């Protein structure tokens, strides 16, 4: 029996999603908790791997259960064995055709940036921070130049293992909410560090180091060395994964409110 789960987690304390020899990953914690309920080892596959310090509001995984359990056991039962920073939000039985990664039509990320002269304390580890004033209009104009099918080599990490740097970015928007700047991206798939590298470049535009057109020049250059440094992981959230309606999964995205500590 194949089961799909929806997860959320605070990634600040973890070495990323994917299991590693030294442990301390979200996948490790989830598989240990699932094994307690299944009565046997369980291996999970996720929709999108997140790096160290990156969060998820709507991660999706699937696994093949070695034993039948009530649907609620995969939620409340598993949560009883998970650390407080990880929670299963929902579970669904699916057919063997479903694959959390390959069945996904798109993935969405949201980056929250605290734009204030003083660093935040209550939101430490949950938001990025930049101290100088930023021009939101210029940043949004630059973000628009990222949309469409592009070669994103200029925003690709050196260790990226993707077969191709060409991805289709369906959404790239920047908006301000008081001291919070929100970056929203949706694509078929993302390269390693791609979102954080795009945010870094847009911050350069926002502080006046380059005009918005520089973003288009970076894309055309395909040269990572010409772009801005990789931005902090702390404000990055996997905010949604889109699947076909036939899978009848619950709502795949959650609204991550900009800068209200109570919303976290």
Residues involved in catalysis:
51
Cβ partners under 8 Å of residue 80, min gap 6: none
Tell me the backbone φ, ψ of residue 220, rounded to 5 degrees: -65, -30
In three-state form (DSSP H/G/I as H, E/B as E, the rest C), the secondary structure along the chain is CEEEEEEEECHHHCCCCCCCCCCCCHHHHHHHHHHHHHCCCCCCEECCCCCCCCEEEEEEEEEECCCCCCHHHHCHHHHCCCCCCEEEEEEEEECCCCCCCCCCCEEEEEEEEEECCCCCCCCCCCCEEECCCCCHHHHHHHHHCCCEEEECHHHCCCCCCCCCCEEEEEEEEEEEECCEEEEEEEECCCCCCHHHHHHHHHHHHHCCCCCCHHHHHHHHHCCHHHCCCCCCCCCEEEEEEECCHHHCCCCCECCCCCCCHHHC
How far are the Cα atoms of 8, 112, 170 from residue 105, in angstroms, in the given order? Answer: 20, 24, 11
Closest alpha carbon to 248 in 131, 91, 137 = 91
Q: What angle do CA 39, 42, 48 make, to 5 degrees?
A: 150
């Amino acid at each position: 029996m194949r089961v799909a789960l929806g997860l959320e987690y605070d990634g600040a304390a973890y070495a990323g999603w994917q299991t590693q020899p030294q442990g301390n990953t979200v996948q490790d914690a989830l598989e240990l908790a699932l094994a307690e309920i299944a009565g046997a080892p369980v291996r999970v596959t996720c929709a999108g791997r997140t790096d160290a310090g990156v969060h998820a509001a709507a991660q999706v995984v699937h696994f093949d259960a070695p034993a039948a359990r009530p649907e609620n056991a995969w939620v409340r039962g598993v949560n009883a064995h998970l650390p407080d920073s990880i929670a299963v939000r929902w579970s669904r039985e699916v057919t063997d055709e479903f694959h959390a990664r390959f069945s996904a039509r798109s993935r969405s990320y949201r980056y929250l940036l605290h734009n204030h002269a003083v660093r935040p304390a209550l939101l430490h580890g949950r938001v990025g921070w930049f101290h100088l004033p930023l021009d939101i209009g210029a940043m949004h104009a630059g973000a628009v130049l990222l949309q469409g099918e592009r070669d994103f080599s200029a925003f690709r990490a050196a260790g990226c293992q993707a077969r191709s740097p060409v991805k289709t970015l369906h959404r790239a928007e920047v908006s301000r909410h008081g001291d919070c700047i929100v970056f929203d991206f949706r694509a078929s798939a993302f390269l390693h560090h791609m979102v954080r590298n795009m945010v870094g470049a847009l911050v350069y535009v926002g502080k006046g180091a380059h005009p918005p057109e520089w973003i288009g020049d970076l894309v055309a250059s395909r040269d990572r060395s010409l772009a801005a440094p990789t931005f902090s992981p702390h404000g990055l959230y996997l905010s949604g994964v889109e699947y076909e309606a036939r899978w009848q999964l619950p709502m795949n995205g959650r609204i991550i409110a900009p800068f209200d500590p109570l919303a976290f």
